[in-house]
Structure 1
Amino acid sequence: MSDDPENTLILTLDGGDVVIRLRPDLAPGHVDRIKELTREGFYDGVVFHRVIPGFMAQGGDPTGTGMGGSDKPDLKAEFSAEKHLRGICSMARAQNPNSANSQFFICFDDATFLDRQYTVWGEVVEGMEHVDALPKGEPPRAPGKIVSAKIAADA
């Protein structure tokens, strides 16, 4: 577990818990949004609608289609030099760099071609095997879901 419970996100998947260290040092606005949505229960029951082997698992859309988001305003990009490597959590967005809202992805492998174009907000520190085990597809026939999302300080 992380030594900073306020900046530790626990995603409970069907297979078990995924512990993510949040990175407010890289993306304070995005971390605030993730924590706000988590505390509202927004991510509970939301599926991973796009899971591409060797690339990433994407979720955070309440409609499960990849077209939805929260009712909050889109976020201003907070791009950094942090590399998109295995376990990195980053925000999904549309063409506009300032269009991230609630959708995010977790990298399965090196995806450094995304560096400085997507906002990195965290990294998996435990439970990556549960992300690896998510059903694959775009969308998967029976998508894996976030059973619950909690900030460790609230658990």
Structure 2
Amino acid sequence: MVALVGGCLRVKPVETPAPSPVGEIDESTTRQALENEVPIGDEFSVKFETSKGDFIVEVHPAWAPRGAARFRELVEAGFYNENRFFRVVPGFMVQFGLNGDPGVQSKWRNSDFPDDPVAKSNTPGMVTFATAGPNSRTTQIFINYGNNAFLDEQGFSPFGVVTSGMDVVKAINSEYGERPDQSLIQTRGNAYLNSGFPKLDFVKTATLIPSEPATTEPAPTSEQQTPPSETKTTPAPISKPEQPTTPPETIEEIKN
């Protein structure tokens, strides 16, 4: 874990054992560990309309039920609307989740919720909450650009994945890097960002995609019935994960 001190990154000594490797935790383990205290809902998708284009996040509560529940709560509250992508590191990740209205942001600032076990790895396209330490997640999330498996051992648990529009996510303006000050975003909101970083890309709206109702088709008559057939398709080639470019050591949520 790292802390931001005087604008520099300082590595803290590890005080507790690292979580189990991702390969030893699966969705059934996560479900069994949490089913008595955290309801695990159905999968759902969220459409982000941004200044760069649209992308869709598919959320899997079985991966991280607490994270999925908080994300849905924030989306339904309209929290992510007009959020700026204030931290963009090519090859590593893009981070957002500070509301542009300081009044709204202050209501969520200390809404920490408990960590989830890490059930999936931080590979390209995975969506994960940022954190300021154990059990300190609130509203900030990031989307992995590279294969950031080193974040798994630090307790960063993905709750969703970009299923459409990853090209849009990768095209988000990165010219300001990590320069925007999270503390000033907290207190001054988009007024601060618009003044000092006017070219930041931003979320226009984030909305739940309505689930399609199940349809029951009538059984075919004897005249309509056809023998079963097997359709074979050629699988799509598996692309090699994009490697990060000397990434920072972790992803922080600053609460100063």
Report what 1:49 is aligned to.
86
Q: How is 1:56-75 mapped onto 2 (pairs within 5 angstroms)?
A: 56-63=93-100, 70-71=108-109, 73-75=111-113
Q: Secondary structure at the match of 1:21?
A: strand
Q: How is 1:123-134 mapped onto 2 (pairs within 5 angstroms)?
A: 123-134=161-172
Q: How is 1:28-47 mapped onto 2 (pairs within 5 angstroms)?
A: 28-47=65-84
Rounded Cα–Cα distance in structure 1 between residues aligned with 2:113 and 2:157:
10
Q: Secondary structure at the match of 1:99?
A: coil
Report percent identity of matched pairs. 31
Unaligned runs of 5+ in 1: none
Q: Identify which of 161, 178, 185 aligns with 1:138.
A: 178
Report what 2:62 is aligned to.
25
Aligned: 1:12 with 2:49: yes
Unaligned runs of 5+ in 2: 1-41, 181-196, 212-256
Q: Is the contact between residue 119 and residue 157 of structure 2 (CA under 8 Å) also seen in structure 1?
A: no
Q: Identify which of 98, 103, 112 aligns with 2:149.
A: 112
One-letter code of the match for 2:125? G
Q: Is the contact between residue 43 and residue 58 of structure 2 (CA under 8 Å) also seen in structure 1?
A: no
Report what 2:130 is aligned to.
92
Does 1 or 2 have the higher relative contact order (CA < 8 Å, sep 6+)? Answer: 1
Q: Identify which of 159, 170, 173 aligns with 1:121.
A: 159
Rounded Cα–Cα distance in structure 2 between residues aligned with 1:59 and 1:79:
22
Q: Where is the helix percentage greater, Structure 1 or Structure 2?
A: 2
Rounded Cα–Cα distance in structure 2 between residues aligned with 1:71 and 1:103:
10
Greater shift in the superposed pair: 136-145 or 44-53: 136-145
Alpha-carbon RMSD across the aligned residues, in angstroms, is 2.1
Rounded Cα–Cα distance in structure 1 between residues aligned with 2:156 and 2:96:
15
One-letter code of the match for 2:156? Y
Q: Identify which of 144, 147, 153 aligns with 2:204.
A: 147
Rounded Cα–Cα distance in structure 2 between residues aligned with 1:29 and 1:81:
13
Rounded Cα–Cα distance in structure 2 between residues aligned with 1:119 and 1:104:
11
For the pair shown, the structure with the greater C-alpha radius of gyration is: 2
**TM-score, normalized by length of structure 2?**
0.53
- For residue 77 of structure 1, report the CA deviation from its aligned partner: 0.5
| Equivalent residue pairs, number | 146
Q: Where is the strand percentage greater, Structure 1 or Structure 2?
A: 1
- For residue 99 of structure 1, report the CA deviation from its aligned partner: 0.4
Q: Secondary structure at the match of 1:118?
A: coil
Task: Kindly report structure 1 stretches of 4+ aligned residues shifted beyond 4 Å.
Answer: none
One-letter code of the match for 1:10? K
- For residue 90 of structure 1, report the CA deviation from its aligned partner: 0.4
